[in-house]
Structure 1
Amino acid sequence: MNQIKTVALLGLLSGLLIAVSTLLFGSSYGSLIGLGLAAAMNLGSWFFSDKIALAAYGAQPISPESLPSIYRIVQRLTQRANLPMPGIYLIPSDSMNAFATGRDPSHAAVAVTEGIVRFLPEDELEGVIAHELSHIANRDTLTQAVAATVGGAIAYLGQMASYSMFFFGGSRDGDRGPNPIGLLVTIFVAPLAATVIQLGISRTREFAADAGAARLTGNPRALAKALQRLESSATQRPLEGSPAFAPLLIVNPLPRNLMRSLFSTHPATEDRIKRLLALESQVSGASSRFAR
């Protein structure tokens, strides 16, 4: 059911991109431009989703020699989960966060920040990495990357529309170009709609990845403690990067405020912690099993 919902939401996101292009460029060519953009974004995300996301946060590869402790954790958990070894990357930031990306388990990467490596105890760091590996096992990484890329394109088109309206006005209509109402819709409504669709894609998948991490490590409380620390870090030291890629991260990278609460790409951290603690009795002693 979640897969059907996700495909439907991705279809809505691509349809929204086509509609925005039609409004922005006019009906004669806008639909074709939007269709081309949607196809290019989805195809590009399929092949380059890992590189796009890693570049967005300036992540650099980790070798077994540079950070042996992280490498050992990832290696141990991937063997336990029966997954291929992903690429491992370090994000140069004191903020505490992490994400996974890639089109499938054989072409995946896990990225962690310098802050999370420096400040989290090993058992909590293991819980975070298990969460990201669960995303890889569930093939969430491609879905999230496609949503982020298409959502980012819609936001970019909204910016183009605002510049067009500011510098050239919105007097054109019909097939000759966008009208003022179309421009206003493109500037304000389309990015908001794209955000809402992304929320529908990402929130349920975070709960599933938390549960997968709890089963993989057999220690849901460690991940619960890590989420508390990461939530605090996001408030004190936000992670800089494109907002379009926020759904990939284990916690929302922005400081908590009213707008973040309304449009958060993640479930409330408190709810995630409650669910993890409720799993303790179910996964106790089950660290050798990993149910996908």
Structure 2
Amino acid sequence: MVRINQLKTLLLLALLSGLIVAAGYLLVGNETGLYYGLAFAAFSSFGSWYYSDQAALSAFKAQPTERADAPELYARIESLCDRADLPHPKLYIVPSESPNAFATGRDPEHAAIALTQGIIDLLSADELDAVIAHELTHVRNRDTLTQAVAGTLSGALTYLGRILTIGALYFPVARGIGRKANNPLAILFLLIIGPFSAGLLRMAISRTREYAADEGAAEITGNPLALVRALQKLEEMGQKVPIHGNPAFAPLFIVNPLSKKGLMKLFLTHPPTEDRIERLEEMAKGIEPSTKASKTMSPAV
């Protein structure tokens, strides 16, 4: 199942990159646009690979937390990392009462886990373990990089569409670039079809990775039902107290951090929480819940 999810993710990323290349071709109107598209996709991917961690942390005003400030939380994370055979990530606290969490970083050696103050206060010890294990699975599977690249490529395609709009409105010379620059179908692709398709692909990537991370959390903790209880609490409280920040980083969180009211329902990047819970409950039927870890680890702070 993990390998299938990885193949799906690679395919979806390849389709996203293909949309960028197609947009470059349509924007310029000849083969040179293909090279521009490839270069733009490569540059965007590299930038997201190198700077994704700081961008996400800054967007939600996450504060670095030292061991002296949260020794019990550090001990909890390190114990789970040892079980998952992962380097210990940096810990950040997001000063928000909205209960949520996310992981970021280009690889396990440069990873960070961010927990909101709300999730630390809300969840019990085993539930917090399950959430941290979920985020550690994202780190292990390098989903943090995948989501950053997907988000950047999706944003880049939207940006190309804006370039076309601005060029057509304010720079008449740009209207004549290439034979296909004024093609109505090309304009429709760049302004509507391309960005919309990129958004759908990005949501598909996010949903695939969330299911895999839930499975990884159950594997690390041996207690799928702890994550079930955590998701139930996060879903209920998260909508009462939505987090404020750049919606481009919404796929990083364990549950959708944005309001589900009105048109926001169209842009949800997470699978339905009910589906995730159903999958975890099915897993729990074949796993004896592990209470040993919860007893030996320090309580949540």
Q: TM-score range by the shorter chain?
A: 0.7 to 0.9
Question: Which residue does 1:79 correspond to in 2?
Answer: 82
1:240 partnered with 2:269: no
- The 3 A distance-change label for structure 1 pair 234 and 167 is farther
Q: Would the aligned equivalents of 1:127 and 1:213 in 2 still touch at CA under 8 Å?
A: yes
Q: For 1:170 and 1:194, locate their aligned partners in 2 and report how far apart those are by CA, in whole Å.
A: 28
Question: Which residue does 1:283 correspond to in 2?
Answer: 287
Q: Pick one of 253, 276, 283 that aligns with 2:257.
A: 253
Question: Which residue does 1:121 correspond to in 2?
Answer: 124
- The 3 A distance-change label for structure 1 pair 275 and 69 is same
Question: Which residue does 1:91 correspond to in 2?
Answer: 94
Q: Pick one of 42, 45, 56 that aligns with 2:45.
A: 42
Q: For 2:174 and 2:183, locate their aligned partners in 1 and report how far apart those are by CA, in whole Å.
A: 7
Q: Deviations over 1:212-258 (max 9, x none)?
A: 11222222222112212222233222223333322211111221246
Question: Which residue does 2:297 correspond to in 1?
Answer: none
TM-superposed CA distance for 1:71, in Å, is 1.5
Q: For 1:31 and 1:39, locate their aligned partners in 2 and report how far apart those are by CA, in whole Å.
A: 12
**Given residue 189 of structure 1, which amino acid in structure 2 is its aligned partner?**
I
Question: Which residue does 1:156 correspond to in 2?
Answer: 159
Q: Deviations over 1:116-168 (max 9, x none)?
A: 12322232222111100111122222212211121122233334444445555
TM-score by length of 2: 0.84
Q: For 2:289 and 2:224, locate their aligned partners in 1 and report how far apart those are by CA, in whole Å.
A: 11
Q: Pick one of 195, 198, 202 that aligns with 1:198.
A: 202
Q: Pick one of 176, 187, 193 that aligns with 2:191.
A: 187
The secondary structure found in structure 2 opposite 1:41 is helix
Q: For 2:291 and 2:160, locate their aligned partners in 1 and report how far apart those are by CA, in whole Å.
A: 47
Greater shift, 89-98 or 256-265, is seen at 256-265
Q: Deviations over 1:6-57 (max 9, x none)?
A: 2221111112122223334554754333222111122223333322322332
Q: Deviations over 1:91-138 (max 9, x none)?
A: 232222111122222221111122212322232222111100111122
- The 3 A distance-change label for structure 1 pair 164 and 150 is same
Q: Would the aligned equivalents of 1:18 and 1:34 in 2 still touch at CA under 8 Å?
A: yes
Greater shift, 128-137 or 183-192, is seen at 183-192
Q: Would the aligned equivalents of 1:18 and 1:38 in 2 still touch at CA under 8 Å?
A: yes
TM-superposed CA distance for 1:271, in Å, is 0.9
Question: Which residue does 1:3 correspond to in 2?
Answer: 6
- The 3 A distance-change label for structure 1 pair 43 and 124 is same
Unaligned runs of 5+ in 1: none
The secondary structure found in structure 2 opposite 1:65 is coil
**Given residue 133 of structure 1, which amino acid in structure 2 is its aligned partner?**
L
The secondary structure found in structure 1 opposite 2:112 is strand
- The 3 A distance-change label for structure 1 pair 96 and 158 is farther
Q: Pick one of 217, 221, 224 that aligns with 1:220.
A: 224
Greater shift, 114-123 or 84-93, is seen at 114-123
* Seq. identity, %: 49
**Given residue 219 of structure 2, which amino acid in structure 1 is its aligned partner?**
R
TM-superposed CA distance for 1:286, in Å, is 4.9
- Tell me the matched-pair count: 289
Aligned-residue RMSD, C-alpha: 2.7
- The 3 A distance-change label for structure 1 pair 171 and 83 is closer
Q: Would the aligned equivalents of 2:167 and 2:175 in 1 still touch at CA under 8 Å?
A: no
Q: Would the aligned equivalents of 2:25 and 2:34 in 1 still touch at CA under 8 Å?
A: yes
Q: For 1:13 and 1:138, locate their aligned partners in 2 and report how far apart those are by CA, in whole Å.
A: 20
Q: For 2:234 and 2:50, locate their aligned partners in 1 and report how far apart those are by CA, in whole Å.
A: 30
Question: Which residue does 1:105 correspond to in 2?
Answer: 108
Q: Would the aligned equivalents of 1:80 and 1:288 in 2 still touch at CA under 8 Å?
A: no
Q: For 1:183 and 1:51, locate their aligned partners in 2 and report how far apart those are by CA, in whole Å.
A: 34
Q: How does 1:34-73 map to 2 (within 5 A)?
A: 34-73=37-76
TM-superposed CA distance for 1:76, in Å, is 1.4
The secondary structure found in structure 1 opposite 2:285 is helix
TM-superposed CA distance for 1:84, in Å, is 0.7
Q: Would the aligned equivalents of 2:224 and 2:289 in 1 still touch at CA under 8 Å?
A: no
